[in-house]
A and B are shown apart, each in its own frame.
Chain A
Amino acid sequence: MTSPYPTPELSGRKFFMNFPVTDTSHALDAYRARGGYQALAKALREQQPADVTKEVSAAGLLGHGGAAFPAGRKWSVIRPDDGEPHYVCMNADEGEPGTFKDRWLLEYVPHMPLEGLILASYAIGGRHAFIYIRGEFDLAYRRIQGAVDEAYAAGLLGENILGTGYALDVVVYRGAGSYVCGEASAMLASLEGKKGWPRNRPPRLTVKGLYQKPTVVNNVETLANVPVILALGAAEFKKTGTPKSPGTQMISISGHVERPGVYEVEYGYSWERFIYDDCGGIQGGRALKCIIPGGVSTKILDANEIKGVTLDHLSAVAAGSQLGSGGMIAVAEGTCMVRLARVIQRFYHHESCGQCTPCREGMGWMERVLDRIVRGDGRPDDIDRLYHISNANDGTTICSLGDSAGYACTAILDHYRDEFEYYIKNGRSMHDGRLAVFDPFDGAVPTPLYAGAGA
């Protein structure tokens, strides 16, 4: 049983996802009818690999995985003709809490990132490419694997693509349950059939990546933008969005909004309009308390702090946060931030790979402290403890899981210290302690399936 996502709402103009989502809109012929794979045909027939990279650089495409690193710059480190194997890996290991836009892309328009993957491989001189996908994904996996199969059958993959002589094999590699494998170097370790332990840099992955060969790792949405850029041309592409953030962002919004879902938003769009108009405002008619903008490690902005802020990288940074991967979580007034912090730290503790000292020890420590506070046994110096652990993880770890946990925690502490102080002093939440505004299971009495089973 699958449930359809809300179709992406178009905030005003039609952008790159401007097609009606149906039962078949993900298929190859539907994609081709919309102009799909024309950019690939043109690139393979008329352009050199370096031209593709140039176009993507000129378009100013920034990565959509959270780091917003210029995609063209990453590709240009690799010389396509240096005789070494090169690999592109599509990072479809979407695991950041609150982020589900890559899943949407894979389910409803898998050929778009696939075409981008083939173009990226062409640009860097790759013969094999990989799609590393969440091990848990169900329909998303079947759709992208289906798209790969369709592409092979149509001569868009394999030997001699479209008769141009370019050859590419694509493997869809399913993960097996690890958030940290979304980190590029951990992803490649996993692709090598090993445990997902991230790696220190240097060397960069574009110098020594998969099996020690130059490798580019790009997010699904980043790659989905590539055929758009090549079809429109960089100049036309840059007419969308803002000068520093050209194009659009697929925003995943969840939490206490009336209409959660995936929205394609043009960079520069008003944040407040997005929350209050497009997403229907906050459940239960409540006021907005705060937004976690782009993944749980991005700094919280409260309702006042998003006033006048637009959804683009510069603006978000100026407001004191980042857009990250666009996985937005809205929190309503009256929600207990202490309990939310605990849920988030429980996640980080569960996912820490255990390699480096600050994260391995710090994640468990933070969860234990927050657990204790939530149980009503907090101490006044626990707040200092949490700051200490967070700061001691900042910039000292192999990958950014440790830093992220620290940022998430300090962001909540910075804004809502009073809630923590209250909880510690009184042994209970300042609010009613509930995390949901509407809990469908509120008051529901379960009927035991087995005689004698208790509630």
Chain B
Amino acid sequence: MTQQMKNIQHLLPEFERWKERYPAGFEGSLTIPCLRRIQEERGYIADSDIDELVAYLGVPRTQVDEVLGFYTMFTRTPLGTHHLQVCHNASCSLRGAEGLIRYLCGTLGIQPGETTPDGRFTLSTAECLASCGTAPMMMVNEAYHENLTPASVDALLEELAK
């Protein structure tokens, strides 16, 4: 390809290895795993990442635009260092998720959807994360934190704030 791949050049060997496990003609399938990988590194998906990925995979730009708009885990803008996603679905609500969210808002001084001014924490609500038996809980970036209490939340935030 003639396109300069300055953003994702270093990831291409990994992407090529992934391709080997897929049947021939499945290149389009790599859209989502590649975007996950790019976001894992950069923290968000930059516009230039998309240009390069489209050129590499040969998928229509609309496919990537639609994927980025459809799935909640992709972000086009940087988030806080620690993304706190609190489940507020049925079972979690029945075991104190609403109290947890209030507590986090009070501790961090932000509402769901917002990021602390120092860029450390972003708070979001999430739907069922399949942790119903260990509710209330939240994800911090990739990790699950379950059976939360005020003490465990305080300890966790203190650790993350370092």
Using a CB–CB cutoff of 8 Å, the interface residues on chain A facing chain B are 1-3, 5-6, 85, 94-100, 102-103, 127-128, 134-139, 169-171, 173-179, 190-196, 211, 252-256, 260-262, 292, 296, 327, 329, 331, 335, 340, 343-344, 346-347, 350-351, 353, 435-442, 444-450, 452-455
Beta-carbon contact of A453 and B22 below 8 Å: no
Nearest to A169 among chain B residues (CB) is B21
In whole angstroms, what is the CA distance A296 to B107 when docked? 32
Q: In the bound complex, how far is the Cα of B72 from the Cα of A136, in angstroms?
A: 10
Is the Cβ of B127 less than 8 Å from the Cβ of A193?
no
CB-based contact B96/A98 at 8 Å:
no
Q: Give Cα distance in the complex from A362 to B156, angstroms.
A: 40
Residue B13 interfacial (CB < 8 Å): no
Q: Judging by beta carbons under 8 Å apart, are B100 and A441 in contact? A: yes
Cα of A128 to Cα of B26 in the assembled complex, Å: 11
Beta-carbon contact of B91 and A98 below 8 Å: yes
Contacts of B116 in A (CB 8 A): 449-450
Q: Which residues of A have CB within 8 Å of B130?
A: 94-95, 99-100, 102-103, 134, 137
Chain B residues 115-162 with CB under 8 Å of chain A are 116-118, 126-136, 139, 142-150, 154, 156-157, 161
Q: Is there contact, CB below 8 Å, between B73 and A193?
A: no
| Given contact pairs A100-B132, A176-B74, A441-B99, A448 touches B109 in the complex (Cβ within 8 A) | yes
How far is the CB of B44 from the nearest CB of chain A, in Å? 14
A343 and B88 in contact, given A3-B134, A100-B130, A134-B130 (Cβ under 8 angstroms): yes
> How far, in angstroms, from A213 to B154 measured CA to CA in the complex?
51
A100–B94 touching, CB < 8 Å: no
Question: A193 to B29, Cβ gap below 8 A?
Answer: yes
Closest 6 CB pairs of A and B: A453-B109, A441-B99, A446-B106, A193-B31, A177-B72, A176-B71
Q: Does B11 contact A (CB under 8 A)?
A: no
The answer on a CB contact under 8 Å between A441 and B96 is yes
Could you tell me the distance between the alpha carbons of A5 and B147 in the complex, rounded to whole angstroms? Answer: 10
A370 to chain B, nearest CB (A): 13
**What's the dominant secondary structure at chain A's contact region?**
loop
Q: Determine whether the beta carbon of A128 is less than 8 Å from that of B90.
A: no
Nearest-CB residue, chain B, relative to A99: B130
Is the pair B161, A449 in contact by a Cβ cutoff of 8 Å? Answer: yes
Inter-subunit contact B99/A191 (CB<8 Å): no
The reply to whether the CB of B15 lies closer than 8 angstroms to some CB of chain A is no
Which residue of chain A lies nearest to B126 when distances are taken between CB atoms in the complex?
A136
Question: Which of B72, B133, B139 makes the CB contact (< 8 A) with A100?
Answer: B133
Contact partners of A327 in chain B: CB under 8 A: 132
Question: Given A193-B28, A436-B95, does the pair A260, B133 have CB atoms closer than 8 Å?
Answer: yes
Please, how many angstroms separate the alpha-carbon atoms of A343 and B72 in the complex?
19
Given contacts A193-B63, A331-B94, contact A261 B133 (CB under 8 A): yes
CB distance from A375 to the nearest CB of B (A): 15
* A329, B90: Cα distance in complex, Å: 8
Give bound CA distance, A2 to B140, whole Å.
Answer: 11
Contact of B144 among A94, A96, A139, A254 (CB under 8 A): A139
Q: Are A436 and B91 in contact (CB under 8 A)?
A: no
Task: State how many angstroms separate the Cβ of B54 from the closest Cβ of chain A.
Answer: 12
A442 to B99, CA, bound (A): 6
- Is B73 within 8 A of A127, CB to CB? no
Give A437's nearest chain B residue, CB to CB.
B94
User: Among the listed B23, B26, B144, B161, which residue makes an inter-chain contact with A2, where contact means beta carbons less than 8 Å apart?
Assistant: B144
Contacts of B96 in A (CB 8 A): 436, 438-442
Residues in B neighbouring A438, C-beta threshold 8 A: 95-96
Contact B21 A296 (CB under 8 A): no
Cβ–Cβ contact A252 & B134, under 8 A: no
Q: B26 — which chain A residues lie within 8 A by C-beta?
A: 192, 211
A440–B148 CB distance below 8 A: yes
Given contacts A256-B94, A440-B148, 15 further A-B contacts (CB under 8 A): A95-B128, A102-B130, A128-B23, A135-B36, A136-B129, A138-B144, A190-B32, A193-B63, A195-B67, A260-B133, A327-B132, A436-B93, A436-B94, A440-B150, A449-B161
Could you list 30 A-B pairs, sorted by A, with CB under 8 Å?
Answer: A3-B146, A85-B23, A95-B130, A97-B127, A98-B132, A99-B128, A103-B130, A135-B71, A169-B22, A170-B21, A176-B71, A177-B72, A195-B67, A195-B69, A253-B133, A254-B91, A254-B132, A329-B90, A329-B132, A343-B93, A347-B90, A441-B99, A442-B99, A444-B103, A444-B150, A446-B150, A449-B116, A449-B161, A450-B108, A454-B106
Max count, chain A CB within 10 A of own CB: residue among B28, B70, B110, B149: B70
State the Cβ distance, A262 to closest chain B Cβ, in Å.
7
B109 touches A449 (CB 8 A): yes
Give the contacting residue for A211; candidates B25, B33, B88; CB below 8 A: B25
